[in-house]
Amino acid sequence: MKIVNTVLPLLLLILTGCSKTAVQPGQADAFIKFYGNSWTDEGNDVVQLADGGYIMIGTTTTMEGDEDIAMVRTDKNGNEQWAKFFGGPGNDHGNSVRTTIDGGFILLGSYHDTLAKEHNLYLIKTDVSGTATWTSDTIGRGRGDQTGNCIQELSDGYIITGTTFVNDTNRILLVRTNQDGAYLEDGHTWYKAKGYGSDSQGNYVIKHPEQDRFVVLGTTSLEKNGLLNSNIIVISAPSNGFGANDIFGGAGIDIGSAIQHIQGNEFIFTGTLDEGLNSRMYIEKIIVDEETISSVWNHLLGTTGRSTGKSVQCAVDGSFAVLGSILSSPGNSDFYLVITDGEGTPLESMNYGGSGNEFGSSLYKTSDGGYVMIGSTGIPEDDNRMFALIKVKSTGLFQ
């Protein structure tokens, strides 16, 4: 990958003032940068590093026409330092990246086994330079097509959530591995798959920081109290698998995307609520106990139209920031960032975009109190896509 140095095509639009501000290149506290080749590249996850730089993961199209996992390392200004690629002859996807205790990185996605004609979980452990120290594409092999959506490092291994397709049913996948990416079914490491209705998927998992359990966010076809189509599901999972769950959403096709811990048993999640012709960015604050999950409040964010919620972060002052996408005009979508107070009431909303279609995927709170977001941007001239990395201040502004 190589960086595209121009930043002028992508401008900041402040919804409240309808003003546009060009971004100056090279600013550590605010910038927009693009990465990719001349085909299709999509950024899916980003983490800030100890030196202020960033590590990104996504999917890139190769010269052979298949897709590989791409990992990009930048300095604090978003300038590319190196890029690494992983995959085989099929279409492989990179969805989640985290730093590890030893200073390296753990990557999660899916690997297309063209001989077996199935998709498997794909774990890649690298050192600090991005060189793979081990890879694993055999977890759950033979159990149906699988996709890994989110990974977190534990003190002695990793916890993974995703989706597995078994007997014409999508099930939520929850896997706990050791430090080598293996599960031994020894009571401590395990592979679990559970269906909730005829169609369900696991999209995000975090470790409860104060208890020996995990909290999983996903989507399910289960219905509850008039909630129809698909709904958001939250699972309180003990250290050895699935546990209590509850369902949230409306009467449309709703999707749960990301969840974060606030304090104690309080969590905040984001997703998308379908309203027929429209969809809305959605956040909900919940209490997750061992046996019960209950709502505190929820909000639809943004203006009417089509918007999505993909990622959420908690600020030190108790406020929240939510990233997704919004249809800014017919046929044109932008990154969409909404900042709320501690009760979920919107304070600011910004969209970032140019003449192509932009989609926000993941949001990370940076050490200076600002936010960095990753996604993809369309290149109208050749109908291709590139990684887009946007760094803003705590207000969502560049200045």
| pLDDT value of position 161 | 97
* pLDDT tens digits, 44-83: 999 999 999 999 999 988 877 788 999 999 999 999 999 9
| pLDDT value of position 379 | 72
How is residue 36 written in tokens?
């990719």
pLDDT, greater one: 284 or 27: 284
Please give the single-letter amino acid code of residue 71.
M
Please give the mean pLDDT across all residues of the chain: 87
12: pLDDT strictly greater than 70: no
14: pLDDT strictly greater than 50: no
22: pLDDT strictly greater than 70: no
| pLDDT value of position 225 | 65
Q: Which residues pair with 61 in a beta bridge?
A: 67
9: pLDDT strictly greater than 50: no
Average pLDDT of the residues in 21-29: 57
Q: Cβ distance 70 to 60 under 8 Å? A: yes
* Three-state secondary-structure class, residue 331: coil
User: What DSSP state is assigned to residue 227?
Assistant: B
311: pLDDT strictly greater than 50: yes
* pLDDT tens digits, 314-355: 998 999 999 999 987 777 899 999 999 999 999 999 999 887
* pLDDT tens digits, 346-396: 999 999 988 788 999 999 999 999 999 999 998 766 568 899 999 999 999
% of the chain beyond a pLDDT of 90 = 64
| pLDDT value of position 205 | 98
pLDDT, greater one: 38 or 161: 161
| pLDDT value of position 92 | 81
How is residue 50 written in tokens?
């100890």
| pLDDT value of position 11 | 36
Average pLDDT of the residues in 76-101: 92
Phi, psi for 357 (deg, rounded to 5): -90, 125
User: Which contacts (CB < 8 Å, 24+ apart) does range 89-92 have?
Assistant: 89/64, 89/114, 90/66, 90/114, 91/66, 91/67, 92/59, 92/66, 92/67, 92/68, 92/122
Which segment of 89-98, 146-155, 226-235, 245-254 scores lowest on mean pLDDT? 226-235
Q: Containing H/E element for 13?
A: strand 11-14
Average pLDDT of the residues in 234-263: 93
pLDDT, greater one: 396 or 39: 396
| pLDDT value of position 277 | 77
Confidence of residue 298 (pLDDT cuts 50, 70, 90): very high
Could you tell me the strand order of the sheet in which 157-166 lies?
Answer: 145-154, 157-166, 169-177, 190-194
| pLDDT value of position 359 | 94
23: pLDDT strictly greater than 60: no
